[in-house]
Amino acid sequence: MRNFEIIILSVTTIVLSLVIVFFINKEQNKCDTTVVLDDGTELRCKDTYTANGGLTNIKTCDDENISIPLNRIKIIKHDKDE
């Protein structure tokens, strides 16, 4: 009976861990940011990072990484800000 309890506890722990990892990963992969360029082009993306060098690194919704000069960006808006 003790072995059965250990197996049930182990399976329950693994399933709960997988569910937690799934929801954390789902939250990180939200495509909730829009970058509007000075020419009016809108880029949907997951994340942006602006460094001191004047370039903004953008991770698009399809996981492509692009760099755009900061002076070409009009606004960066997050869906949760609206």
Do 79 and 68 lie in a common domain?
A: yes
Do 42 and 63 lie in a common domain?
A: yes
**Domains identified in the chain, total number:** 2
pTM for the full model? 0.60
Cβ(67)–Cβ(56) under 8 Å? yes
Q: What pLDDT, on a 0 to 100 scale, did the predictor assign at position 38?
A: 92
Q: What pLDDT, on a 0 to 100 scale, did the predictor assign at position 28?
A: 64
pLDDT digits (tens, 9 = 90+) for 26-82: 666 678 889 999 999 999 998 888 887 888 999 988 889 999 998 999 999 887 654
Do 25 and 64 lie in a common domain?
A: no
Q: What pLDDT, on a 0 to 100 scale, did the predictor assign at position 15?
A: 92
Do 35 and 23 lie in a common domain?
A: no
Do 24 and 58 lie in a common domain?
A: no
Averaged pLDDT for residues 20-29: 74
Do 36 and 60 lie in a common domain?
A: yes
Q: Determine the structural domain holding residue 46 and report its residue range.
A: 31-82
Q: What pLDDT, on a 0 to 100 scale, did the predictor assign at position 1?
A: 72
